[in-house]
Amino acid sequence: MIPSPAARVQPRHDLTPTEIDAIEDRLYEHNSAATGRDDGEGLGFVIRDDDGRTVGLTNGYTWAGVSEIRQMWVDPAFRGRGYGRALLDAMVAEAKRRGVSRVWVASYDFQAPGMYERAGFKRMAEFADWPVGRVNVILCKVFDPA
């Protein structure tokens, strides 16, 4: 099938958060219809300093018995104080409370794969030269059945 002129692919490298949310919503609808699971929930935690500034945060979701940690960040001035581990522990505890069987995360070798491994995550895959000269690591923590 040849697309009509109105369906041409156009470059657009500045999607707004609202447009990205709309894409996420459409994907969720499709995935829920395909699996019969519509139990998706956002998952996130924030750490603020005494002045209310965000110094660490993490974001992800739970859906269909699985959780993904999509982003985690700690301000460089606050690293080495256990904030990353506190955010990770909070994510894992809440995911487990929601009944998921596993949590997964991607972390480059220059980020925090060691922190995840110390928390019981296992390396599931490594992609060398992703980006060139670095390694992208996929890690997963599986919970024992209760």
Q: Is the pLDDT of residue 50 over 80?
A: yes
Q: Is the alpha carbon torsion for 82, 41, 139, 118 positive or negative?
A: positive
Q: Is the pLDDT of residue 138 over 60?
A: yes
Q: Classify burial at 119, counting beta carbons within 10 Å of its beta carbon; exposed 0-12, middle 13-18, buried 19 or more.
A: middle
DSSP letter assigned to residue 36: S
Tell me how far apart the alpha carbons of residues 109 and 123 are, in angstroms, rounded to a whole number: 12
Please tell me which residue, 30 or 144, carries the higher pLDDT value.
30
pLDDT in tens, 55-111: 999 999 999 999 999 999 999 999 999 999 999 999 999 999 999 999 999 999 999
Q: Is the alpha carbon torsion for 129, 141, 79, 60 positive or negative?
A: positive
CATH fold group of domain 41-142: Aminopeptidase (3.40.630)
Indicate yes or no: pTM above 0.85: yes
- pLDDT in the model for residue 8: 87
pLDDT band at 7 (very low <50, low <70, confident <90, very high): confident
